[in-house]
Amino acid sequence: MKIVSVGTMRALERAAVNSGVSEYRLMRRAGIGAAAALERFAKGRFRRVVFFCGSGNNAGDAVVAAGSLGLPHVLLPFRPLEELRGAAADAVREFGSRLDVRTDIDAFDFEPGDLAADALLGTGFSGSSVRAPLDRGLALLGRAGGRVVAFDLPSGLDADSGEAVPGTVKALLTLAFGAPKQGMFRREGPELCGRIEVIPIGLDLNDAERALDYDFYTRSDAADALKRPPLTAHKNTRGRVLVLCGSADYPGAAVLASSAALRFAGLVRSVMAESGLSFRLPAALIRRCLPPGPGGSLPPDALKRCADFASVSDALCAGCGWGSAPSPELLKEVLAFPGPVVLDADGLNLLARHPELWSFRSDAVLTPHPGEAARLAAAFGVDGALPRERFAAALAEKLGATVVLKGFHTCVAAPGRPVSVNSSGGPELAVAGSGDVLAGIITGLLAGGDAPFDGARLGVFLHGLAGDEGGFSLIADELPLLAAKCRDHLW
C-alpha cells in the first residue's frame, strides 16, 4: 500500500466524494473500522475505552466508533458536540443516543482497565503547539500511562513532516484511515505511532501519488496475495521443501524451520547433523541425519549425500543453526541448488566471510537481522549508514536478490521494486528461534509457487501477525501454528 502525503489524501477523499460517495459514508467506514480494531486490540486486556474527542472530522470518527463499539465507553468532548458541522454532525445525529458523554472533563480520572482513544487532532494539524481547549486533552492523555490508540495520527504529530510538538501523544497503536501518512515514518513518527493498522474506507489508491519511495504492507495486501490451493491439490503440488539447517549443538533450528515449512508446504524433508541432544520432531517430517563435520556442523557435502532429497525439492531453506564452523563448500552446494533458496543466520555470516561464492541469484531470499546485514554490507561494499529502507534496497541491488532486513517494520527489498515496510509484529518476536521460523515460512511459500519478493513480504507479514496474536508469553515453537492460523483467517 502506498504511503501518502496529506495533500494526496485530501485529493483521494475529494475523488471519492466526486464519484458519489458521501463524506459521511467515508467517515462511517472509518469509525466502524476503528471500533472493530479497538475491540481486537482491547480483547483480554482492557475493559473500557475512553474517547478523547476534538473537532471536525476526527470528532466524527470518534462518535461513530464509540457508538459502534461492543465495549463500555466514555466520550470526552473537548468541544461541544452540538457545534460539530457537516459529516461530523451527521455522526452525532445517527449515533448520539448511544454515547456515554461526560462533559465535566476536569473531574474525569482513568480507571484500571481503561484504554484511551485519541481523536483530538487529525491530519490537518501543524504548528509548534496545541491550542486550548485541546491542550487540556493532550495533558490528560499523558496520564493514560501509554495505553493509547490514536485515530489517524497521535495528536501533536505533523502528518507530513513527522515533527512533534511537546507533549505529543505516544500511542501503542495508530489506526490510519484510508492510507498511511508519510509523517508516520519520518522524524519522531515511528516512535510515537507504535504499531500501525490501516483501516480501509473505500478510497482508490491505484492512481495515488506516492509520497515516500517505499510501500507499507498491510492486512489487505496479505489477503490479496494469498492463493488458496485448488480442490485437486495434493502434497506434491502444494510445494516440496528441503531444510538444510541445524548442527550437533543447535538441532532446534532445524526443527523450528522444518515445523514452519510444514505449515506452508505440502511436504518437507530435512537433512540434519546427528546430535546427542534430545528434541521432538513433527511426525510428518521426513528427515535424514548425517555424521557432523568439524565443530559439529553439517558436513561440507551434505547436499551431495542427499541428492535424492534435493532432486525432488522445490525450494531450499539453509543456514539456520549451522554454528560458527561450517565449510564454505557447504555454502557452495547450497548456492548451486536449482530452485529458490532462503539463506538465514549462520549461512549469511558464512557468505559475509566468503563473498566470492555469491552467485547473484534473483530467486534467492536473504533474511538478515541488522548485525548480519552489517556484515554483508561490509563484505559487499554497501554503505551501512544509509537510512534503513534505503540500506535494504542498496543491499538487495548489490546482491541481485530479495533481502529481508528484520526488525520493527521489517523491510523487504528486491532490485527494481519499491521497498516494502511490514506493518505487523513487534517485540513479541524478539525470542530465540523466531528467525528460524520465518525462514521456514518463506521457504514454504516459495515452494508453493510464490515469487521471492512476494513470498518474502507475505511470510514476513504472517510471521509478524503470529507474534501479535501470541503476545509476550510467546515462544518460537508456537509461531508456526499461529502463523498458519493467521493465514487461514485471511483466506
Q: Which residue is associated with the grid cell 523466531?
A: 434
The reported pLDDT for the residue numbered 128 is 83
Q: How confident is the model over 377-407, as pLDDT tens digits?
A: 999 999 999 999 999 999 999 999 999 999 9
Q: What angle do CA 29, 425, 470 make, to 5 degrees?
A: 100
- Other CB atoms within a 10 A radius of the CB of residue 39 amount to 15
Domain that residue 80 falls in: 6-212
Residues 6+ apart with CB under 8 A from 14: none
Q: Does residue 361 have a pLDDT over 80?
A: yes
d(CA 399, CA 415): 9
Percent of the chain with pLDDT over 70: 100
Element (H, E) at 315: strand 315-318
Q: What is the DSSP secondary-structure string of 121-162?
A: --TT--SSS--TTHHHHHHHHGGGTT-EEEESS-TTB-TTT-
Complete edge-to-edge strand list for the sheet that includes strand 315-318: 214-217, 419-422, 411-413, 402-405, 364-367, 341-344, 315-318, 240-244, 267-273, 286-290
- Average pLDDT score, the chain: 96
The reported pLDDT for the residue numbered 267 is 98
Distance of CA 152 to the CA centre of its chain: 18
Domain boundary among 212, 231, 254: 212
Q: Are residues 341 and 451 in the same domain?
A: yes
pLDDT band at 368 (very low <50, low <70, confident <90, very high): very high
Does 332 reside within a domain? yes
pLDDT band at 454 (very low <50, low <70, confident <90, very high): very high
Q: Does residue 278 have a pLDDT over 80?
A: no
Q: Does residue 132 have a pLDDT over 90?
A: no
Does 396 reside within a domain? yes
Closest CA to 20 of 208, 199, 202, 220: 202
Q: What angle do CA 183, 185, 187 make, to 5 degrees?
A: 75
Q: Are residues 98 and 186 in the same domain?
A: yes
Beta strand 240-244 with 411-413 is unpaired
Q: Are residues 273 and 185 in the same domain?
A: no
Distance of CA 227 to the CA centre of its chain: 19
Q: Tell me the average pLDDT across 313-330.
A: 96
Element (H, E) at 487: helix 479-490
Residues 6+ apart with CB under 8 A from 80: none
Distances (CA, A) of 224 to 34, 450, 459, 487: 21, 13, 13, 11
Q: Are residues 162 and 283 in the same domain?
A: no
pLDDT band at 238 (very low <50, low <70, confident <90, very high): very high
Beta strand 148-151 with 173-177 is parallel
Does 108 reside within a domain? yes
pLDDT band at 126 (very low <50, low <70, confident <90, very high): confident
Closest CA to 414 of 454, 474, 376, 470: 454
pLDDT band at 280 (very low <50, low <70, confident <90, very high): confident
Q: Are residues 293 and 387 in the same domain?
A: yes
The reported pLDDT for the residue numbered 364 is 98
Q: Which residue is associated with the grid cell 563435520?
A: 293
Does 233 reside within a domain? no
The reported pLDDT for the residue numbered 199 is 97
Q: Are residues 178 and 280 in the same domain?
A: no
Beta strands in 148-262 (DSSP E): 148-151, 173-177, 195-199, 214-217, 240-244
Q: Tell me the average pLDDT across 19-46.
A: 96
Tell me the CATH number at 255.
3.40.1190.20
Residues 6+ apart with CB under 8 A from 381: 398
Distance of CA 467 to the CA centre of its chain: 10
Does 225 reside within a domain? no
pLDDT band at 277 (very low <50, low <70, confident <90, very high): confident
Q: Tell me the average pLDDT across 336-357.
A: 98
Does 410 reside within a domain? yes
Q: What angle do CA 8, 131, 211 make, to 5 degrees?
A: 15
Q: What is the DSSP secondary-structure string of 55-100?
A: SHHHHHHHHHHHHH-SS-EEEEESS-GGG--HHHHHHHHHHGGG--
The reported pLDDT for the residue numbered 276 is 85
The reported pLDDT for the residue numbered 18 is 95
Domain total in the chain: 2
DSSP 429: G
Distances (CA, A) of 465 to 34, 179, 222: 18, 19, 11
Beta bridge partners of 196: 174
Most confident option among 125-139, 196-210, 425-439:
425-439
Q: Are residues 306 and 454 in the same domain?
A: yes
d(CA 60, CA 81): 9
Q: Tell me the average pLDDT across 484-489.
A: 97
Q: Are residues 277 and 207 in the same domain?
A: no
Q: Which residue is associated with the grid cell 457545534?
A: 83
Tell me the CATH number at 42.
3.40.50.10260
Q: Are residues 483 and 357 in the same domain?
A: yes
Given a contact cutoff of 8 angstroms between Cβ atoms, the answer to whether 84 and 53 are in contact is no
The reported pLDDT for the residue numbered 385 is 96
The reported pLDDT for the residue numbered 129 is 86
The reported pLDDT for the residue numbered 163 is 96
The reported pLDDT for the residue numbered 218 is 96
Q: Are residues 139 and 200 in the same domain?
A: yes
The reported pLDDT for the residue numbered 354 is 98
Q: Does residue 190 have a pLDDT over 90?
A: yes
Q: Are residues 274 and 391 in the same domain?
A: yes
Q: Are residues 183 and 249 in the same domain?
A: no
